[in-house]
Amino acid sequence: MSRRCLTCGAEFPDQTAFCGNDASILVEVQPPGDEVDPRLGSVVSREWMITAVVADGAMGRVYEARHVATRERAAIKILHPHVREERVSVERFKREAETATTLAHPHVVEIKSFTEQPDGAHVMVMEYLEGEELSVLLRREPKLPFPRLLRIAAQTALALEHAHGAGVFHRDLKPDNLYIVRGTDGDVVKILDFGSVKREDEQGAKLTAWGTTLGSPFYMSPEQAMGTQLDRRSDVWALGTIVYEMVTGKIAFDAPNPAKVLVRIMSESPPWASTLRPDSPPALDDAIERALVRERDQRTGSARALAEQIGAALGVAWPLEHLAAATEAELAAAMGGAPVPARLSGSVPIARASLGGDRPSLDRPTNPERPVSGRTPHARAADPARSAETWVPADRSTASSSSVQTSGTPMLLWIVAGLLGAMLAVAMAFAAWIWLG
């Protein structure tokens, strides 16, 4: 690949941004045989020159761009022509831009502008990120080191707390929507795709079309699978499943098709993380399980509580802000018993826990006396339904069809409820698609 100066015609290596002759912005030269993209070299939103194609997806294309005056680098997302004819897709695109702009948080992707072009194209200008989605990282490194996964979880929780405080629920949190930018101090998380958000005070029609309800079922909360009213605890569930995946390298609720995934969400519990990863402390099992309680009134009540419980389980019982700001090296040292770094001024550990010692108290927000899922944590060893030998969920490239026993509610009731919920969700999505299409 190379880049060409549109002024003098000279070509330079692909990593070169500006012409060595006249300092003009360089534009990517498309490989021979590729379909010519007429947007390359054009200026959109009156100030951004499109310089290269970054990615192409089902909904749209992402470009690299440079500001014509400041030379700032940015990413530009433009919907495909056939997609912008779908009213729901356009409205979701607008909502993504509006929500991210309103939130304005260091761990939410920055949206610089959103405009409509004379040809009808909608252009979203975003900060340019160099990194990869968490899903890509997990395919390469299925089980992340504890300091790294704690930092990722804490930064994600910090952004969710900010969004929830503004009355915004993401509703589609998953590894594909967590972008990881690698830095010298560790990862920096950016939450993407706020097109599925729900505002707490929203009364209008849902922006739902065929394929959106069941688009990413692996991380759906039970209430989302059933099509009932959602709140911030749905995002807590999703974050809990992501943490489980970062610890074990396995999707918590995996199955060959969306319907079976929903049945598992409604009726089964994944194996304890410690059975899939021997160095994982039992306290981490408890913290994850509290986030994955099907009765949301008994679930961990906030993203902050979940992240702080995970930190405490790993021996770093710090406030969320310090967990998110600490470097991976500082978190690793804290897990070994080191004190709080001086630079995190004002941070006093609220408790201490040891990877090999007693577990901290992780009482859930409501009714802490009630055991999670009808079990007390110390009953783990006697619970064959949660052992890795009973059911090990598949990784991202395969799917397991084996089942697991449930405790408490009869299996048949949960299966029927799950299937009815799945059918209802599909019916509602289809009806919305017909109505809005």
Is 297 an annotated catalytic residue?
no
Distance CA 155, CA 134 (A): 13
Q: Which amino acid is it at 58?
A: A
Phi, psi of 291, rounded to the nearest 5 degrees:
-80, -20
Catalytic residue among 172, 187, 235, 254: 172
Q: Phi and psi of 123, rounded to 5°?
A: -120, 120
Judged by DSSP in three states, 401 sits in: coil
d(CA 57, CA 40): 17
- Lookup: tokens for 161: 């707390």
CB 72 within 8 A of CB 25: no
Nearest to 335 by CA among 323, 347, 321, 320: 323
Is the distance from CB of 187 to CB of 148 less than 8 angstroms?
A: yes
CA neighbor of 156 nearest in space, from 136, 140, 133? 133
Q: Per this entry, what is the length of the chain?
A: 437
63 phi/psi in degrees, rounded to 5? -120, 160
Q: For the chain, count helices (H), then strands (E).
A: 12, 14
For the chain, give percent helix, strand, coil, nearest 5: 35, 15, 45
Catalytic center residues: 172
